[in-house]
Structure 1
Amino acid sequence: MMRGISLGLVTVIAAGWVTMGLFSQFQRKMVFPGPEGVDESLLSDVATQIGATELRIPTEDGETLYGWHRAAIWSGPRRVVLYFHGNASSLVAQLELQHLLQSEGWDFVGIHYRGYPGSTGVPSEAGLHKDATAAWKWVADKLDVQPARVAIHGRSLGGGVAVQLAAAVNPGALVLESTFTSIVDLAKEHYRWLPIGRVLEHRFMTRDFAGRVSCPLLVAHGAADSIIDVHHGKELARLFHADEYMEVPRIDHNDMLLVGVIATRYLGFLESAVPSGDRGLE
Protein backbone atom coordinates (compact mmCIF):
# COMPACT_ATOMS: atom_id res chain seq x y z
CA MET A 1 0.00 0.00 0.00
CA MET A 2 2.76 2.44 1.01
CA ARG A 3 4.71 1.52 -2.13
CA GLY A 4 1.64 2.34 -4.24
CA ILE A 5 1.22 5.67 -2.49
CA SER A 6 4.92 6.48 -2.94
CA LEU A 7 4.84 5.64 -6.64
CA GLY A 8 1.69 7.69 -7.05
CA LEU A 9 3.26 10.63 -5.24
CA VAL A 10 6.40 10.41 -7.37
CA THR A 11 4.25 10.32 -10.50
CA VAL A 12 2.31 13.40 -9.41
CA ILE A 13 5.50 15.28 -8.52
CA ALA A 14 7.17 14.27 -11.78
CA ALA A 15 4.13 15.33 -13.78
CA GLY A 16 4.10 18.63 -11.92
CA TRP A 17 7.73 19.33 -12.71
CA VAL A 18 7.24 18.40 -16.36
CA THR A 19 4.29 20.79 -16.50
CA MET A 20 6.33 23.53 -14.83
CA GLY A 21 9.19 22.92 -17.24
CA LEU A 22 6.90 23.21 -20.22
CA PHE A 23 5.35 26.35 -18.76
CA SER A 24 8.78 27.90 -18.31
CA GLN A 25 9.79 26.88 -21.82
CA PHE A 26 6.75 28.37 -23.51
CA GLN A 27 6.11 31.40 -21.30
CA ARG A 28 7.80 33.76 -23.76
CA LYS A 29 5.20 32.78 -26.34
CA MET A 30 2.45 33.28 -23.77
CA VAL A 31 3.65 36.71 -22.65
CA PHE A 32 4.73 37.91 -26.11
CA PRO A 33 2.50 36.12 -28.66
CA GLY A 34 2.62 38.95 -31.20
CA PRO A 35 -0.19 39.99 -33.56
CA GLU A 36 -1.80 37.59 -36.02
CA GLY A 37 -1.86 38.44 -39.71
CA VAL A 38 0.48 41.43 -39.46
CA ASP A 39 3.77 41.65 -41.33
CA GLU A 40 6.09 44.43 -42.43
CA SER A 41 4.51 44.57 -45.89
CA LEU A 42 1.08 45.25 -44.39
CA LEU A 43 2.54 47.84 -42.02
CA SER A 44 4.20 49.68 -44.89
CA ASP A 45 1.02 49.62 -46.98
CA VAL A 46 -1.07 51.02 -44.12
CA ALA A 47 1.58 53.61 -43.28
CA THR A 48 1.46 54.86 -46.87
CA GLN A 49 -2.34 55.01 -46.84
CA ILE A 50 -2.53 57.05 -43.63
CA GLY A 51 0.54 59.21 -44.19
CA ALA A 52 2.60 57.80 -41.33
CA THR A 53 6.38 58.09 -41.42
CA GLU A 54 7.99 54.69 -40.94
CA LEU A 55 10.75 54.61 -38.33
CA ARG A 56 13.81 52.44 -37.79
CA ILE A 57 15.00 53.07 -34.24
CA PRO A 58 18.27 51.55 -32.95
CA THR A 59 18.47 50.21 -29.39
CA GLU A 60 21.47 50.26 -27.09
CA ASP A 61 22.00 46.51 -27.53
CA GLY A 62 22.01 46.49 -31.33
CA GLU A 63 18.38 45.77 -32.26
CA THR A 64 16.32 47.84 -34.68
CA LEU A 65 12.71 48.73 -33.89
CA TYR A 66 9.98 49.39 -36.41
CA GLY A 67 7.69 52.32 -35.65
CA TRP A 68 5.44 55.09 -36.91
CA HIS A 69 5.41 58.84 -36.48
CA ARG A 70 2.19 60.67 -37.31
CA ALA A 71 2.39 64.44 -37.02
CA ALA A 72 -0.41 66.48 -35.49
CA ILE A 73 -2.87 68.18 -37.84
CA TRP A 74 -2.01 71.69 -36.67
CA SER A 75 0.96 74.04 -36.32
CA GLY A 76 1.04 74.80 -32.58
CA PRO A 77 3.78 73.85 -30.10
CA ARG A 78 4.55 70.16 -30.49
CA ARG A 79 3.05 67.62 -28.09
CA VAL A 80 3.69 63.90 -28.42
CA VAL A 81 1.95 60.74 -27.26
CA LEU A 82 4.48 57.91 -27.07
CA TYR A 83 2.43 54.72 -27.29
CA PHE A 84 3.23 51.16 -26.17
CA HIS A 85 0.87 48.45 -27.43
CA GLY A 86 -0.42 45.22 -25.89
CA ASN A 87 1.24 41.82 -26.16
CA ALA A 88 -0.85 40.55 -29.11
CA SER A 89 -1.35 43.93 -30.75
CA SER A 90 0.30 46.18 -33.33
CA LEU A 91 0.28 49.71 -34.67
CA VAL A 92 -2.56 48.91 -37.07
CA ALA A 93 -4.86 48.00 -34.16
CA GLN A 94 -5.06 51.55 -32.82
CA LEU A 95 -5.72 53.64 -35.94
CA GLU A 96 -8.80 55.33 -34.43
CA LEU A 97 -6.82 56.47 -31.40
CA GLN A 98 -4.06 57.78 -33.66
CA HIS A 99 -6.55 59.75 -35.77
CA LEU A 100 -8.12 61.17 -32.61
CA LEU A 101 -4.79 62.34 -31.22
CA GLN A 102 -3.68 63.87 -34.51
CA SER A 103 -6.90 65.82 -34.85
CA GLU A 104 -6.50 67.21 -31.31
CA GLY A 105 -2.98 68.52 -31.82
CA TRP A 106 -0.86 65.54 -30.75
CA ASP A 107 1.93 63.82 -32.61
CA PHE A 108 1.72 60.04 -32.30
CA VAL A 109 4.83 57.88 -32.01
CA GLY A 110 4.52 54.12 -31.60
CA ILE A 111 6.94 51.23 -31.92
CA HIS A 112 6.83 47.48 -32.30
CA TYR A 113 8.79 45.71 -29.59
CA ARG A 114 11.78 43.58 -30.52
CA GLY A 115 10.67 40.35 -32.17
CA TYR A 116 7.39 41.89 -33.33
CA PRO A 117 6.65 42.59 -37.02
CA GLY A 118 9.33 44.78 -38.56
CA SER A 119 11.60 44.74 -35.50
CA THR A 120 14.65 42.56 -34.95
CA GLY A 121 15.49 40.47 -31.90
CA VAL A 122 13.66 38.29 -29.39
CA PRO A 123 11.21 39.81 -26.87
CA SER A 124 11.92 39.78 -23.14
CA GLU A 125 11.04 42.02 -20.22
CA ALA A 126 14.53 43.54 -20.10
CA GLY A 127 14.52 43.93 -23.87
CA LEU A 128 11.19 45.76 -23.93
CA HIS A 129 12.47 48.25 -21.38
CA LYS A 130 15.46 48.91 -23.65
CA ASP A 131 13.02 49.37 -26.53
CA ALA A 132 11.04 51.95 -24.55
CA THR A 133 14.20 53.87 -23.72
CA ALA A 134 15.21 53.87 -27.38
CA ALA A 135 11.79 55.19 -28.42
CA TRP A 136 11.97 57.93 -25.79
CA LYS A 137 15.43 58.94 -26.99
CA TRP A 138 14.18 59.08 -30.58
CA VAL A 139 11.34 61.41 -29.59
CA ALA A 140 13.68 63.69 -27.65
CA ASP A 141 16.41 63.77 -30.32
CA LYS A 142 14.47 63.70 -33.59
CA LEU A 143 11.39 65.70 -32.61
CA ASP A 144 13.30 68.06 -30.30
CA VAL A 145 10.59 67.98 -27.66
CA GLN A 146 10.99 68.42 -23.91
CA PRO A 147 9.89 65.65 -21.49
CA ALA A 148 7.08 67.85 -20.15
CA ARG A 149 5.54 67.89 -23.66
CA VAL A 150 5.38 64.10 -23.95
CA ALA A 151 2.61 61.85 -22.64
CA ILE A 152 3.41 58.15 -22.33
CA HIS A 153 0.46 55.82 -23.00
CA GLY A 154 0.68 52.08 -22.32
CA ARG A 155 -2.07 49.58 -23.03
CA SER A 156 -2.22 46.15 -21.36
CA LEU A 157 1.37 44.79 -21.45
CA GLY A 158 2.39 48.22 -22.72
CA GLY A 159 1.38 49.68 -19.37
CA GLY A 160 4.06 47.59 -17.69
CA VAL A 161 6.56 49.01 -20.17
CA ALA A 162 5.26 52.57 -19.88
CA VAL A 163 5.31 52.81 -16.09
CA GLN A 164 8.98 51.90 -15.80
CA LEU A 165 9.92 54.41 -18.48
CA ALA A 166 7.83 57.12 -16.82
CA ALA A 167 9.56 56.50 -13.50
CA ALA A 168 12.91 57.06 -15.21
CA VAL A 169 12.19 60.07 -17.43
CA ASN A 170 9.35 62.03 -15.72
CA PRO A 171 7.15 62.81 -18.75
CA GLY A 172 4.31 65.29 -18.90
CA ALA A 173 1.71 62.58 -18.28
CA LEU A 174 1.20 58.83 -18.04
CA VAL A 175 -1.82 56.79 -19.17
CA LEU A 176 -2.27 53.17 -18.07
CA GLU A 177 -5.03 51.52 -20.08
CA SER A 178 -6.25 48.00 -19.20
CA THR A 179 -3.00 47.29 -17.36
CA PHE A 180 -2.15 44.66 -14.73
CA THR A 181 -0.64 45.19 -11.29
CA SER A 182 1.98 42.63 -12.36
CA ILE A 183 2.29 39.64 -14.67
CA VAL A 184 2.87 37.57 -11.53
CA ASP A 185 -0.48 38.62 -10.05
CA LEU A 186 -2.24 38.06 -13.35
CA ALA A 187 -0.71 34.63 -13.94
CA LYS A 188 -1.65 33.48 -10.44
CA GLU A 189 -5.27 34.32 -11.22
CA HIS A 190 -5.27 32.36 -14.49
CA TYR A 191 -3.10 29.43 -13.32
CA ARG A 192 -4.02 29.01 -9.66
CA TRP A 193 -2.70 25.44 -9.53
CA LEU A 194 0.88 26.35 -10.48
CA PRO A 195 3.56 28.01 -8.27
CA ILE A 196 3.81 30.78 -10.83
CA GLY A 197 6.09 33.07 -8.88
CA ARG A 198 8.95 30.57 -9.03
CA VAL A 199 9.11 30.18 -12.80
CA LEU A 200 8.06 33.49 -14.35
CA GLU A 201 10.97 35.19 -16.07
CA HIS A 202 8.99 38.16 -17.41
CA ARG A 203 7.32 39.63 -14.33
CA PHE A 204 6.46 43.27 -15.18
CA MET A 205 5.91 44.42 -11.60
CA THR A 206 3.86 47.50 -12.41
CA ARG A 207 2.70 47.98 -8.82
CA ASP A 208 6.29 48.22 -7.57
CA PHE A 209 6.66 51.60 -9.28
CA ALA A 210 4.05 53.25 -7.07
CA GLY A 211 5.71 56.25 -5.48
CA ARG A 212 8.25 56.52 -8.29
CA VAL A 213 5.98 58.17 -10.86
CA SER A 214 5.49 61.88 -10.21
CA CYS A 215 3.70 63.04 -13.37
CA PRO A 216 -0.10 63.27 -13.74
CA LEU A 217 -1.58 59.78 -14.13
CA LEU A 218 -4.77 58.47 -15.73
CA VAL A 219 -5.83 54.85 -15.17
CA ALA A 220 -8.56 53.50 -17.47
CA HIS A 221 -10.06 50.01 -17.40
CA GLY A 222 -13.03 48.14 -18.82
CA ALA A 223 -15.44 46.90 -16.15
CA ALA A 224 -16.05 43.66 -18.08
CA ASP A 225 -12.38 42.89 -18.81
CA SER A 226 -12.13 39.08 -18.90
CA ILE A 227 -8.34 38.93 -19.34
CA ILE A 228 -7.06 41.57 -16.90
CA ASP A 229 -9.82 41.95 -14.34
CA VAL A 230 -10.90 45.46 -13.45
CA HIS A 231 -9.58 45.06 -9.90
CA HIS A 232 -6.08 45.51 -11.38
CA GLY A 233 -7.03 48.97 -12.62
CA LYS A 234 -8.63 49.88 -9.31
CA GLU A 235 -5.57 48.76 -7.39
CA LEU A 236 -3.18 50.67 -9.65
CA ALA A 237 -5.27 53.81 -9.25
CA ARG A 238 -5.14 53.38 -5.47
CA LEU A 239 -1.43 52.57 -5.25
CA PHE A 240 -0.34 55.37 -7.58
CA HIS A 241 -2.85 57.94 -6.28
CA ALA A 242 -4.02 58.42 -9.86
CA ASP A 243 -5.21 61.88 -10.82
CA GLU A 244 -8.08 60.28 -12.70
CA TYR A 245 -9.61 56.80 -12.81
CA MET A 246 -12.04 55.79 -15.54
CA GLU A 247 -13.96 52.52 -15.31
CA VAL A 248 -15.96 51.86 -18.46
CA PRO A 249 -19.09 49.66 -18.20
CA ARG A 250 -19.51 46.61 -20.47
CA ILE A 251 -16.05 46.96 -22.03
CA ASP A 252 -13.95 43.79 -22.36
CA HIS A 253 -10.18 43.68 -22.78
CA ASN A 254 -10.06 43.76 -26.57
CA ASP A 255 -12.88 46.27 -27.01
CA MET A 256 -12.12 49.86 -27.99
CA LEU A 257 -12.12 51.68 -24.67
CA LEU A 258 -11.27 55.29 -25.56
CA VAL A 259 -14.34 56.26 -27.58
CA GLY A 260 -17.24 58.68 -27.12
CA VAL A 261 -17.48 60.34 -23.71
CA ILE A 262 -14.48 58.36 -22.47
CA ALA A 263 -12.36 59.67 -25.34
CA THR A 264 -13.40 63.20 -24.39
CA ARG A 265 -12.30 62.62 -20.80
CA TYR A 266 -9.02 61.11 -22.02
CA LEU A 267 -8.30 64.15 -24.18
CA GLY A 268 -9.28 66.44 -21.32
CA PHE A 269 -6.77 64.73 -19.04
CA LEU A 270 -4.01 65.06 -21.63
CA GLU A 271 -4.85 68.73 -22.20
CA SER A 272 -4.74 69.49 -18.47
CA ALA A 273 -1.38 67.73 -18.09
CA VAL A 274 0.24 69.03 -21.28
CA PRO A 275 -1.56 72.20 -22.42
CA SER A 276 -1.76 72.97 -26.12
CA GLY A 277 -0.34 76.49 -25.67
CA ASP A 278 3.13 77.55 -24.58
CA ARG A 279 2.60 76.53 -20.94
CA GLY A 280 4.79 73.59 -20.00
CA LEU A 281 7.68 74.76 -22.20
CA GLU A 282 9.31 76.84 -19.51
Structure 2
Amino acid sequence: MRILQALRLMRLWAAAGLALLYLAGCTDRDAWQRSMLYHPQPARQAGESLMLPVDGATLQISLRLRPGAPAILYFGGNAEDVSGTLPQLARLFPGHALYLMHYRGYGQSTGEPSEPALHADALALYEHVRREHTEIKLIGRSLGSGVAARLASEQAVARLALITPYDSIENVAVEHYPWLPVRWLIRDRFDSAAVAGRISAPTTLIAAEHDTLIRPGRTAQLARHFKPGVARSVVVPGSNHNDIGTHPVYERALVEALAAD
Protein backbone atom coordinates (compact mmCIF):
# COMPACT_ATOMS: atom_id res chain seq x y z
CA MET A 1 0.00 0.00 0.00
CA ARG A 2 2.79 2.38 0.94
CA ILE A 3 4.49 1.65 -2.39
CA LEU A 4 1.28 2.50 -4.30
CA GLN A 5 0.88 5.71 -2.31
CA ALA A 6 4.47 6.62 -3.02
CA LEU A 7 3.98 5.98 -6.75
CA ARG A 8 0.85 8.12 -6.81
CA LEU A 9 2.69 10.91 -5.00
CA MET A 10 5.55 10.71 -7.47
CA ARG A 11 3.11 10.95 -10.37
CA LEU A 12 1.48 13.99 -8.80
CA TRP A 13 4.84 15.69 -8.29
CA ALA A 14 5.87 14.82 -11.85
CA ALA A 15 2.61 16.25 -13.22
CA ALA A 16 3.02 19.37 -11.11
CA GLY A 17 6.58 19.76 -12.33
CA LEU A 18 5.55 19.45 -15.97
CA ALA A 19 2.76 21.97 -15.41
CA LEU A 20 5.19 24.42 -13.87
CA LEU A 21 7.61 23.96 -16.77
CA TYR A 22 4.78 24.53 -19.24
CA LEU A 23 3.65 27.70 -17.44
CA ALA A 24 7.24 28.90 -17.31
CA GLY A 25 7.47 28.36 -21.05
CA CYS A 26 4.24 30.31 -21.56
CA THR A 27 5.58 33.14 -19.44
CA ASP A 28 8.73 33.20 -21.54
CA ARG A 29 6.60 33.23 -24.70
CA ASP A 30 4.70 36.20 -23.33
CA ALA A 31 7.96 38.00 -22.56
CA TRP A 32 9.63 37.04 -25.83
CA GLN A 33 6.75 37.30 -28.27
CA ARG A 34 7.69 40.78 -29.39
CA SER A 35 11.28 39.75 -29.97
CA MET A 36 9.93 36.79 -31.95
CA LEU A 37 7.63 39.04 -33.99
CA TYR A 38 9.96 41.99 -34.61
CA HIS A 39 13.47 41.59 -36.02
CA PRO A 40 14.90 45.11 -36.44
CA GLN A 41 17.26 45.60 -39.37
CA PRO A 42 19.75 48.40 -40.04
CA ALA A 43 19.32 50.57 -43.12
CA ARG A 44 21.98 49.14 -45.42
CA GLN A 45 21.27 51.17 -48.55
CA ALA A 46 22.34 54.79 -48.82
CA GLY A 47 19.74 57.16 -50.15
CA GLU A 48 17.48 60.05 -49.33
CA SER A 49 15.48 59.78 -46.15
CA LEU A 50 13.28 61.83 -43.86
CA MET A 51 13.41 61.79 -40.08
CA LEU A 52 9.78 62.11 -38.99
CA PRO A 53 9.04 63.04 -35.35
CA VAL A 54 6.17 61.03 -33.85
CA ASP A 55 4.86 60.51 -30.34
CA GLY A 56 7.71 58.96 -28.36
CA ALA A 57 10.08 58.34 -31.26
CA THR A 58 11.63 59.58 -34.48
CA LEU A 59 11.10 57.53 -37.63
CA GLN A 60 13.40 57.11 -40.59
CA ILE A 61 11.47 57.21 -43.85
CA SER A 62 13.36 56.09 -46.94
CA LEU A 63 11.94 58.06 -49.84
CA ARG A 64 11.98 59.17 -53.44
CA LEU A 65 10.39 62.59 -53.78
CA ARG A 66 8.02 63.51 -56.61
CA PRO A 67 6.23 66.72 -55.56
CA GLY A 68 2.56 66.64 -56.44
CA ALA A 69 2.68 63.13 -57.92
CA PRO A 70 0.67 60.19 -56.55
CA ALA A 71 2.37 58.80 -53.45
CA ILE A 72 2.97 55.22 -52.34
CA LEU A 73 3.40 54.40 -48.66
CA TYR A 74 5.19 51.11 -48.02
CA PHE A 75 5.10 49.03 -44.82
CA GLY A 76 7.51 46.10 -44.86
CA GLY A 77 7.98 42.73 -43.25
CA ASN A 78 9.15 42.06 -39.72
CA ALA A 79 12.76 41.45 -40.79
CA GLU A 80 12.92 43.76 -43.79
CA ASP A 81 15.30 46.62 -44.46
CA VAL A 82 12.97 48.77 -46.52
CA SER A 83 15.85 50.84 -47.87
CA GLY A 84 16.72 47.74 -49.89
CA THR A 85 13.19 47.61 -51.30
CA LEU A 86 13.23 51.20 -52.53
CA PRO A 87 15.16 50.56 -55.79
CA GLN A 88 12.64 47.96 -56.99
CA LEU A 89 9.68 50.21 -56.22
CA ALA A 90 11.41 53.14 -57.90
CA ARG A 91 11.81 51.05 -61.05
CA LEU A 92 8.23 49.76 -61.01
CA PHE A 93 6.61 53.11 -60.22
CA PRO A 94 8.69 55.86 -61.89
CA GLY A 95 5.89 58.42 -61.71
CA HIS A 96 5.17 58.03 -58.00
CA ALA A 97 6.61 59.55 -54.86
CA LEU A 98 7.73 56.77 -52.49
CA TYR A 99 7.73 56.71 -48.68
CA LEU A 100 9.01 53.55 -46.98
CA MET A 101 8.71 53.44 -43.19
CA HIS A 102 11.41 51.93 -40.98
CA TYR A 103 9.53 50.69 -37.92
CA ARG A 104 10.61 51.78 -34.46
CA GLY A 105 13.99 50.22 -33.74
CA TYR A 106 14.65 49.58 -37.45
CA GLY A 107 17.13 51.57 -39.50
CA GLN A 108 17.69 54.90 -37.75
CA SER A 109 14.21 54.94 -36.18
CA THR A 110 14.14 55.20 -32.41
CA GLY A 111 11.78 53.54 -29.94
CA GLU A 112 10.40 50.02 -29.58
CA PRO A 113 7.99 48.41 -32.05
CA SER A 114 4.51 47.32 -31.02
CA GLU A 115 1.16 47.05 -32.74
CA PRO A 116 -0.27 50.30 -31.28
CA ALA A 117 2.95 52.16 -32.09
CA LEU A 118 3.09 50.91 -35.69
CA HIS A 119 -0.51 51.90 -36.32
CA ALA A 120 0.00 55.35 -34.81
CA ASP A 121 3.19 55.83 -36.83
CA ALA A 122 1.48 54.79 -40.07
CA LEU A 123 -1.20 57.40 -39.44
CA ALA A 124 1.45 60.04 -38.72
CA LEU A 125 3.20 59.23 -42.00
CA TYR A 126 -0.11 59.37 -43.87
CA GLU A 127 -0.90 62.80 -42.40
CA HIS A 128 2.57 64.06 -43.34
CA VAL A 129 2.33 62.78 -46.92
CA ARG A 130 -1.15 64.06 -47.66
CA ARG A 131 0.02 67.63 -47.15
CA GLU A 132 1.96 67.28 -50.39
CA HIS A 133 0.03 64.59 -52.28
CA THR A 134 -3.68 64.36 -53.03
CA GLU A 135 -3.54 60.70 -54.11
CA ILE A 136 -2.10 58.10 -51.73
CA LYS A 137 -1.69 54.36 -52.35
CA LEU A 138 -0.54 51.73 -49.86
CA ILE A 139 1.60 48.61 -50.01
CA GLY A 140 1.93 46.30 -47.01
CA ARG A 141 4.09 43.21 -47.00
CA SER A 142 3.81 40.35 -44.51
CA LEU A 143 3.69 42.01 -41.06
CA GLY A 144 3.16 45.35 -42.81
CA SER A 145 0.01 44.07 -44.50
CA GLY A 146 -1.75 44.43 -41.17
CA VAL A 147 -0.47 47.99 -40.78
CA ALA A 148 -1.55 48.94 -44.31
CA ALA A 149 -4.96 47.25 -44.00
CA ARG A 150 -5.85 49.10 -40.83
CA LEU A 151 -4.69 52.42 -42.26
CA ALA A 152 -6.78 51.84 -45.40
CA SER A 153 -9.80 51.05 -43.22
CA GLU A 154 -9.49 54.42 -41.46
CA GLN A 155 -8.25 56.84 -44.13
CA ALA A 156 -8.98 57.60 -47.77
CA VAL A 157 -6.56 55.80 -50.07
CA ALA A 158 -6.72 55.26 -53.84
CA ARG A 159 -5.37 51.70 -53.99
CA LEU A 160 -4.15 48.99 -51.63
CA ALA A 161 -1.78 46.08 -52.29
CA LEU A 162 -1.18 43.45 -49.60
CA ILE A 163 1.72 41.05 -50.14
CA THR A 164 1.68 37.67 -48.34
CA PRO A 165 -1.09 38.96 -46.06
CA TYR A 166 -2.83 37.16 -43.20
CA ASP A 167 -6.24 37.30 -41.58
CA SER A 168 -4.51 37.85 -38.22
CA ILE A 169 -1.08 37.32 -36.73
CA GLU A 170 -2.88 35.50 -33.93
CA ASN A 171 -4.12 32.83 -36.36
CA VAL A 172 -0.68 32.57 -37.97
CA ALA A 173 0.85 32.00 -34.53
CA VAL A 174 -1.73 29.35 -33.63
CA GLU A 175 -0.73 27.39 -36.75
CA HIS A 176 2.97 27.55 -35.88
CA TYR A 177 2.68 26.99 -32.10
CA PRO A 178 -0.30 24.65 -31.58
CA TRP A 179 1.04 23.41 -28.23
CA LEU A 180 0.87 26.89 -26.66
CA PRO A 181 -2.19 28.87 -25.48
CA VAL A 182 -1.41 31.50 -28.12
CA ARG A 183 -4.80 33.22 -28.00
CA TRP A 184 -4.30 33.90 -24.32
CA LEU A 185 -0.67 34.96 -24.59
CA ILE A 186 -0.52 37.10 -27.70
CA ARG A 187 -0.77 40.87 -27.46
CA ASP A 188 -0.02 42.15 -30.96
CA ARG A 189 -2.77 40.45 -32.96
CA PHE A 190 -2.81 42.55 -36.16
CA ASP A 191 -6.37 41.45 -36.93
CA SER A 192 -6.73 42.43 -40.59
CA ALA A 193 -9.90 40.38 -41.02
CA ALA A 194 -11.64 42.57 -38.44
CA VAL A 195 -11.02 45.74 -40.47
CA ALA A 196 -11.25 44.37 -44.03
CA GLY A 197 -14.97 45.06 -44.30
CA ARG A 198 -14.33 48.77 -43.78
CA ILE A 199 -11.89 49.02 -46.70
CA SER A 200 -13.36 50.55 -49.87
CA ALA A 201 -10.17 51.09 -51.92
CA PRO A 202 -9.57 48.58 -54.74
CA THR A 203 -7.39 45.94 -53.09
CA THR A 204 -5.09 43.23 -54.41
CA LEU A 205 -3.94 40.33 -52.23
CA ILE A 206 -0.70 38.78 -53.50
CA ALA A 207 0.14 35.36 -52.04
CA ALA A 208 3.15 33.06 -52.52
CA GLU A 209 2.22 29.57 -53.73
CA HIS A 210 4.69 27.77 -51.42
CA ASP A 211 4.59 30.14 -48.46
CA THR A 212 5.12 28.15 -45.25
CA LEU A 213 5.26 31.19 -42.96
CA ILE A 214 1.99 32.87 -43.93
CA ARG A 215 0.21 30.05 -45.68
CA PRO A 216 -2.03 30.86 -48.65
CA GLY A 217 -4.99 29.66 -46.57
CA ARG A 218 -4.56 32.62 -44.25
CA THR A 219 -4.69 34.96 -47.24
CA ALA A 220 -7.80 33.21 -48.51
CA GLN A 221 -9.46 33.66 -45.12
CA LEU A 222 -8.66 37.39 -45.24
CA ALA A 223 -10.17 37.70 -48.72
CA ARG A 224 -13.52 36.45 -47.43
CA HIS A 225 -13.86 39.43 -45.10
CA PHE A 226 -13.82 42.13 -47.79
CA LYS A 227 -17.05 43.43 -49.24
CA PRO A 228 -17.91 41.93 -52.64
CA GLY A 229 -15.95 43.44 -55.50
CA VAL A 230 -13.34 45.21 -53.34
CA ALA A 231 -10.52 42.66 -53.28
CA ARG A 232 -9.00 40.31 -55.80
CA SER A 233 -6.35 37.66 -55.19
CA VAL A 234 -3.21 36.72 -57.10
CA VAL A 235 -1.07 33.67 -56.31
CA VAL A 236 2.53 33.89 -57.53
CA PRO A 237 3.43 30.39 -58.77
CA GLY A 238 6.66 28.77 -57.63
CA SER A 239 7.32 31.44 -54.99
CA ASN A 240 7.80 31.30 -51.24
CA HIS A 241 7.54 33.89 -48.51
CA ASN A 242 11.02 35.33 -48.94
CA ASP A 243 11.59 35.17 -52.68
CA ILE A 244 8.18 36.32 -53.95
CA GLY A 245 9.58 39.72 -54.89
CA THR A 246 11.98 38.18 -57.42
CA HIS A 247 9.23 36.70 -59.63
CA PRO A 248 8.02 38.54 -62.76
CA VAL A 249 4.43 37.55 -61.97
CA TYR A 250 4.76 39.39 -58.67
CA GLU A 251 6.03 42.58 -60.30
CA ARG A 252 3.24 42.56 -62.88
CA ALA A 253 0.64 41.96 -60.19
CA LEU A 254 1.97 44.78 -58.04
CA VAL A 255 2.03 47.27 -60.91
CA GLU A 256 -1.51 46.30 -61.91
CA ALA A 257 -2.65 46.57 -58.29
CA LEU A 258 -1.66 50.23 -58.06
CA ALA A 259 -2.40 51.22 -61.65
CA ALA A 260 -4.78 54.08 -62.27
CA ASP A 261 -8.34 53.28 -63.32
TM-score relative to the length of structure 2:
0.91
Change (3 A) 1:124 1:88: same
Aligned length: 253
Contact 1:70 1:102 in 2 (8 A): no
Q: 1:89 aligns with which of 62, 70, 80?
A: 80
Report what 2:149 is aligned to: 163
Alignment map for 1:145-164 (pairs within 5 Å): 145-146=133-134, 149-164=135-150
Report what 1:16 is aligned to: 22
Cα offset, 1:272, TM superposition: 3.5
Alignment map for 1:118-197 (pairs within 5 Å): 118-141=108-131, 144-146=132-134, 149-197=135-183
Alignment map for 1:196-207 (pairs within 5 Å): 196-207=182-193
1:63 aligns with 2:57: yes
Q: Secondary structure at the match of 1:120?
A: coil
Cα offset, 1:258, TM superposition: 6.6
Structure 1 unaligned segments of length 5 or more: list them.
48-52, 274-282
Deviation sequence 1:32-64 (CA, Å, 0-9, x none): 1122xx35xx44xx21xxxxx3101111x2311
Deviation sequence 1:241-282 (CA, Å, 0-9, x none): 443210011111011337424322322231235xxxxxxxxx
- Return the alpha-carbon distance in structure 2 between the equivalents of residues 184 and 93 of structure 1: 28
Which one-letter code corresponds to 1:33 in the other structure?
H
Q: 2:71 aligns with which of 70, 80, 105?
A: 80
Deviation sequence 1:119-157 (CA, Å, 0-9, x none): 01111111111110111111112xx222xx111110000
1:244 aligns with 2:244: no
Contact 2:76 2:142 in 1 (8 A): yes
Q: 1:260 aligns with which of 224, 248, 257?
A: 248
Q: Secondary structure at the match of 2:119?
A: helix
- Return the alpha-carbon distance in structure 2 between the equivalents of residues 136 and 174 of structure 1: 14
Q: Secondary structure at the match of 2:258?
A: helix
- Return the alpha-carbon distance in structure 1 between the equivalents of residues 25 and 118 of structure 2: 27
Cα offset, 1:161, TM superposition: 0.6
Cα offset, 1:3, TM superposition: 1.0
Which one-letter code corresponds to 1:54 in the other structure?
S
- Return the alpha-carbon distance in structure 1 between the equivalents of residues 93 and 255 of structure 2: 11
TM-score relative to the length of structure 1:
0.84
Q: 2:49 aligns with which of 36, 49, 54?
A: 54
Percent identity of equivalent pairs: 30
- 4+ residue runs over 4 A deviation: none
Which one-letter code corresponds to 1:260 in the other structure?
P
RMSD: 1.8
Report what 1:280 is aligned to: none
Report what 1:212 is aligned to: 198
Which one-letter code corresponds to 1:139 in the other structure?
V
Change (3 A) 1:12 1:69: same
- Return the alpha-carbon distance in structure 1 between the equivalents of residues 167 and 142 of structure 2: 10
Q: Secondary structure at the match of 2:225?
A: helix
Contact 1:222 1:252 in 2 (8 A): yes
Q: 2:90 aligns with which of 92, 99, 109?
A: 99
Cα offset, 1:210, TM superposition: 2.3
Q: Which of structures 1 and 2 has the bigger CA Rg?
A: 2
- Return the alpha-carbon distance in structure 1 between the equivalents of residues 103 and 174 of structure 2: 25
